[in-house]
Chains A and B, each alone.
Chain A
Amino acid sequence: MLPFLKIMLRNLLLGPSTDPFPFAPAKTHKNFRGCAEHDPEKCILCGICRHVCAAGAIQIHPSEDGSGMQYLLWHNSCVFCGMCAHYCPTGALTMSDNWHLAHSGAEMFSNCISDFIPFGACAQCGAKIQPRPQTIIDTLGARSPDRFLLCPQCKRQGIVQNVAQARPTRRQENP
């Protein structure tokens, strides 16, 4: 007991080392991996988050009228691993530092992120394509802005035309 007596006295003088939660806020680091947050303005429905989610917390369903997709993330299934946020290519998914997830039993089936994400439209033929929100056009689309807004078919046609135009010139150069 003797070597410990000094420590015990010191701890006694230092007082409690626990946070007085819930009467005062508990200390939370800004890096804390809490509840996931989804920004529908940035989501392109690529599905990578669903692919890497071990808990199966993410679902992406077609909406009833077919004009877009319903994005669901169930907080009660989520294990806060943050894999979805790490692999999300657009930064639509992030982990917040909010850990206040206690809720009543009645809220069990509503405690989720539910975002409607409308499809984009092909700039040429108007066909439905993955969403093309402005934030994504400015970032991912910056490499080839005109092709980024096309559906796969129009993109392919554009490439075929380019190649067809390119060939004769090359032949002329190398007779």
Chain B
Amino acid sequence: MPSTTYTLPIGPLHVALEEPMYFDIQVEGETVRSVELSAGHVHRGMEALAMQRNYFQNVTLVERVCSLCSNSHPATYCMAVENLSGLIVPERARYLRVIADEVKRIASHLFNVGIMAHLTGFDSLFMHAMEVREIMQDAKEGVYGNRMNLGQCIIGGCRRDIDDSTAPFLLGQLELLKPQLHELYGVFERDPLIRTRTQGIGLLSHAEARRHAVVGPVARASGVAYDLRRKAPYAVYPDLDFEVQTDTKGDVHSRALLRLREAVESVKIVEQCLRQMPGGPINTREVPVIPPGEAVARSEAPRGEVFYYVRSDGTDTPQRLKWRVPTYMNWEALQVMLANCQVADIALIVNSIDPCISCTER
């Protein structure tokens, strides 16, 4: 029956996709047989731009690589430059960086589960998840000055302190968030519509997760307890008490629940940081001297491990700045997750890796 097999092109611009991406999907009836991915539709030449800007300007540039993990990029970039120049970041600044990272993680995870609800057609839940996220957006605006680009990291520390006026505000927002997050988890866990649409689809076994070396919540939902905050601790994570969330089911539903549990852990991390943060300077006042050489740094972004490489020839502009983002590792595994799924589930499965195309193609 040759008429039942056809190629379904999805993208680069498609209503079900949040960002441009092209899928060539071989479909038999309603079932996906194979998937070809092609990328490169939002290439902005950011690595070339980075080589035309000095070390200070690049902090702003890399913050704009991606909006949802916009703190992970400058934080990791600054870590790489600090590694290169041997700059020691004050302890208070390291706490402030963790707070910024975790606040962004909560907002990013809530966005992703919200979009999942939207893709199942459950728009009132989507709206509600976005409204819960709004508590965090408000916190970001009140503490840092912007809803997305916090502008917190600079080479040598942080820019904005969390003082007597903003700390109670941030804690207040977390108090508002906690019951809402708990309630939302219950809905995502038990709602029959969400469960029928998302359980058992987009399966990624433990073995496949290792074979594709996936990172972040995608890896952890398939039983690979890989979290850089524990595997290669940076900033002040060794001093913080939190649990790496894992699951073994490896389907779309378990990834969403895992993200919500991580958001709960992030709330705990921020609270701990605010409690045990020491006083002192929030950045090194000196202007860093960046010697010739190369350095790397990595950190755990909301979507997984992000990796920065910087090479300097001793001038004020990097000779090369390169980064690898989590989605690059995760989207190859889509070929496994999408195999034999229903056409209607494609968007849900793609969303479950929390893809960030603009990071990956930059």
Contact = CB atoms under 8 A, between A and B. Distances in A.
A82 interface: yes
A7 B151 contact: no
Contact of A11 (B128, B151, B187, B191): B128
B124 A8 contact: yes
Interface string B177-195: 0000001001100111100
A79 B60 contact: yes
Given A7-B183, A32-B141, A54-B61, A83 B56 contact: yes
Interface string A44-83: 0000000111110000000000000000000000011111
A22 B186 CA distance: 37
Given A4-B191, A8-B124, A81-B149, A17 B54 contact: no
Given A2-B191, A2-B192, A54-B60, A31 B145 contact: yes
B24 to A, nearest CB: 36
Contacts of A29: 138, 141-142, 145
A4 B190 CA distance: 10
Interface in A1-56: 1-4, 7-8, 11, 17, 29, 31-33, 51-55
B146 A80 contact: yes
B125 interface: yes
B206 interface: no
B354 interface: no
Nearest to B186: A3
Nearest to A87: B56
Nearest to B190: A3
Nearest to A1: B193
A66 to B, nearest CB: 29
Nearest to B189: A3
Nearest to B50: A54
Given A17-B131, A31-B143, A1 B56 contact: no
A38 B256 CA distance: 46
Contacts of A80: 146, 149
A51 B145 contact: no
B187 A4 contact: yes
B60 A81 contact: yes
A7 B128 contact: yes
Contact of B125 (A4, A17, A86): A4
B96 interface: no
A150 interface: no
A1 B196 CA distance: 12
A86 B122 CA distance: 44
Nearest to B142: A29
Nearest to A53: B57
B208 interface: no
B64 interface: yes
Interface in B94-122: 122
A117 interface: no
A3 B191 contact: yes
Nearest to A97: B145
Pick the most buried of B145, B186, B191: most chain A CB atoms within 10 A of its CB.
B145
B199 interface: no
B72 interface: no
Contacts of B324: none
Nearest to B183: A7
A95 interface: yes
A8 B129 CA distance: 12
B28 to A, nearest CB: 33
A54 B58 contact: yes
Contacts of B166: 31
Nearest to A17: B131
A4 B188 CA distance: 9
Contacts of B154: 83, 86
A31 B144 contact: yes
B63 interface: yes
Given A11-B128, A81-B149, 9 more contacts: A8-B128, A17-B134, A31-B143, A31-B160, A33-B145, A54-B60, A79-B60, A79-B149, A83-B59
Interface of A: 1-4, 7-8, 11, 17, 29, 31-33, 51-55, 79-83, 86-87, 95
28 contacts: A2-B191, A3-B190, A4-B187, A7-B128, A8-B128, A11-B131, A17-B131, A17-B134, A29-B138, A29-B145, A31-B141, A31-B144, A32-B141, A32-B145, A32-B146, A33-B144, A33-B146, A51-B54, A51-B56, A52-B54, A52-B56, A54-B53, A79-B149, A82-B159, A83-B57, A83-B154, A87-B56, A95-B145
